[in-house]
Structure 1
Amino acid sequence: MSATDGLMRGMDVIDTGAPLSVPVGGATLGRIFNVLGEPIDNLGPVDTRTTSPIHRSAPAFIQLDTKLSIFETGIKVVDLLAPYRRGGKIGLFGGAGVGKTVLIMELINNIAKAHGGVSVFGGVGERTREGNDLYMEMKESGVINEQNIAESKVALVYGQMNEPPGARMRVGLTALTMAEYFRDVNEQDVLLFIDNIFRFVQAGSEVSALLGRMPSAVGYQPTLSTEMGSLQERITSTKEGSITSIQAVYVPADDLTDPAPATTFAHLDATTVLSRGLAAKGIYPAVDPLDSTSTMLQPRIVGEEHYETAQRVKQTLQRYKELQDIIAILGLDELSEEDRLTVARARKIERFLSQPFFVAEVFTGSPGKYVGLAETIKGFKLILSGELDGLPEQAFYLVEVKEIILSTNSGQIGILPNHAPIATAVDIGILRIRLQDQWLTMALMGGFARIGNNEITVLVNDAEKGSDIDPQEAQQTLEIAEVNLSKAEGKRQTIEANLALRRARTRVEAINMMS
């Protein structure tokens, strides 16, 4: 459980006859503990006499609760394709450096703050720096209240990678014991975050080797399934309350068939698989939409609209995956018109699944976004229906808008990031949006624009993308408008003819800017 420095043969050992017990209850909130339940945050002793043993049985079958409801996270790819169950177990699978810890920190930010209940975080064999980053993040977000610790919403239990294997193997049990008290005694819904379950297995393997047990598959301990079950079966929902567990799982060499992640799969309600291929493309979160699964994605649970949208997204992405070899060998031009359209929509979907995170704002410079489920479904339905086929792929990616040029009643104005808040009438004219090195051009027919908080909202009477306008038809409309103006009689007819001419000229100008 701690360093063995100074121990020697012949030393007296005293058997207390008591199990390893840790403090539980409200006094643990806002504090950091080690595997023995000792505070390690230099804030003094814990003000509680209530303790619980870390080794105990799972709840009896008749105590379990089987209600099914969705746990909204605000992360598009998760909520749409692999929704989480309230009171369930969720695994975040991925190799080194694909974003497991960032995703779990974003989930803590989104869920713990909106959840309103209590949370317990177990740091199992991970980096000390990450534990410190998480502690600072929680203080900044108010989940840990420095001024009044009693009002904090989370307890932290750390057994980092410099700890002995015995400590790393049991730190998850310590965190779970604290969560069980809130569930069983306080009758609360609890969030349990564990980072990383693979380190729990790894520590068990080290202990097994020290005990001289014969290694099993791929060198793991022969008791792997039993040890995993003793932890996972205690993470469940009872009639008193629920524990919703989100666990990061390191995948050695990106091999999901490795015994450690494979054994974890059997216990989970939802799996979020992180892809190195998507991370290499710069698409974050790098969640693989085809490999990620959830038992909750059923029409009777999520509803027909959600289910149908998710299935169509998966079908489109699966077809794109099947066509990639053909594209690599023969090129995109050799595909049928239908397949080219599928590829275009799949690439837009792939980029639309990306999302800026709150916890990554300091690194990316992009403000984080929480996207509700209804908004997520609506966005993907627009892509699948073809209504957004004219937009470039970059419009669906989390790239920054570099510049906007807008026609107002006072003339054209240029809008850059961090522009001062304004509200203005939009004139008949051109709207240009610069995304990285590409311009998106639209013909607007008057309306209203509001700018504030680094966002722009434009409400218009009518709008057409330059790429959607037929050049021949636009030129004919312009010629007709010029003839009608020359024949106009009276003030009203002249005003109407002038408006029609301005609209026609704007459409032709939008086409010219595209070329």
Structure 2
Amino acid sequence: GNELYSNLRRLKMLDKVALYFGQMDKMPGARSRVGFSAVTAARYLRDYLKKDVVVFIDNIFRYVLAGMELATGLNKVPSELGYQPTLEKELSDLEEMMNSNENGSITSFQAVYVPADDFTDPSVVAVMPHLDSVVILSRQEAAKGNYPALDILSSTSSILTPEIVGERHYSVALKVKTYFQKYKELQHMIAILGVDELPFESRIIARRTERLRRFLTQPFFTAEDFAGQKGTYVPLEKTLDGCEKILDGKFDDVGLEELYMKGEI
């Protein structure tokens, strides 16, 4: 946590943040309770100081792991893959504390470690129903240099509805995901024939999807020190405009590198 503390101090944010640590060298009992301590503090800020609070949890799997170690120490009969039999209840106890009421809101961002990249792992399955939106990071996208390395097809959001985000946003997002799904179905043919040998309609889908993926890269402010590139803020409207232009074929003749890490077009 020393680097995190130093960065917060450099950014003059320490007066807006409370840090709670449950380090891996500590006893599992302490690690299993630190999340509740942090959320209790968030609830105090919400209910008594009338604040809207953001809770960052890195990593929720460590909470699960602490519970598993406690269960083993207490000789409880394990469930599937050695997890504690009370896994879902323990996660619910913590997750359900983070909510909104008439005093304010608690919004939580949680990093979820996926053991062996297995999304059917009981710990992952138990966490997912509590999350309104899930952003899945992909090793394959990272290997291609597409940052943020999102798995666009697997990432989901329960608030992506016309009533919440608006008809235009919903329509563009749906069309983009449709293109990515069709592109995924073409992968086998592309690997054998190459994009240029595909039927005309399939070739259009492949080229526009490749341009969409490059366009959806963005330099992050938080990565400036590592990437050596200044971060870019991209308004939602600019993102929608760019996606619509690519989907309409206005960038069919533009090279992929022309769209890479531009933020907006």
The equivalences for 1:247-326 within 5 A come to 247-326=110-189
Deviation at 1:165, TM superposition (A): 0.9
CA distance in 1 between partners of 2:39 and 2:18 (Å): 11
Q: TM-score, normalised by structure 2?
A: 0.96
Local SS of the residue matching 2:111: strand
- Distance (whole Å) between structure 2 residues aligned to residue 385 and residue 199 of structure 1: 45
Match of 2:60 in 1: 197
1:344 paired residue number: 207
From 11, 26, 41, the counterpart of 1:178? 41
Matched, 1:140 2:10: yes
Tell me which protein shows more strand as a share of its residues: 1
Matches within 5 A, 1:54-453: 131-144=1-14, 152-398=15-261
Query: Displacement, 1:382?
Result: 1.2
Shift of 1:363: 1.2
- Displacement after TM superposition at 1:328 (Å): 0.8
Bigger helix share: 2
Whose radius of gyration is greater, 1 or 2? 1
Deviates more, 1:217-226 or 1:380-389: 380-389
In 2, distance between residues paired with 1:157 and 1:354? 32
Task: Quote the Cα distance in structure 1 between the aligned partners of 2:34 and 2:255.
Answer: 49
CA distance in 2, matches of 1:353, 1:160: 35
Q: Which whole-Å CA distance do the structure 1 matches of 2:6 and 2:184 have between them?
A: 41
Amino acid at match of 1:242: S
Structure 1 residue 331 displacement after superposition: 2.5
Amino acid at match of 1:300: E
What is the alpha-carbon distance in structure 1 between the residues aligned to residue 257 and residue 237 of structure 2?
23
Alignment size in residue pairs: 263
Where 2:40 maps in the other structure, the secondary structure is helix
Q: Which runs of 5+ in 2 are unaligned?
A: none
Q: Tell me by how many angstroms 1:306 deviates.
A: 0.3
Post-superposition Cα deviations, 1:432-457, rounded to whole Å, max 9, x if no partner, equal xxxxxxxxxxxxxxxxxxxxxxxxxx
**Local SS of the residue matching 1:192:** strand
How many angstroms apart in 2 are the aligned matches of 1:135 and 1:370? Answer: 24
CA distance in structure 1 between the aligned counterparts of 2:69 and 2:10, rounded to whole angstroms: 37
SS in structure 1 of the partner of residue 107 of structure 2: strand
| Aligned equivalents of 2:10, 2:57: Cα separation in 1 | 21
The Cα shift of 1:334 comes to: 3.0
Counterparts of 2:84 and 2:147 in 1: how far apart (Å)?
35
- Secondary structure of the corresponding residue to residue 229 of structure 2: coil
Which residue identity does 1:249 align to in structure 2?
A: V
CA distance in 2, matches of 1:213, 1:299: 47
Write the letter of the residue equivalent to 1:392. Answer: G
Higher relative contact order (CA 8 A, sep 6+): 1
Per-residue deviation, residues 455-480 of structure 1 (Å, max 9, x unmatched): xxxxxxxxxxxxxxxxxxxxxxxxxx
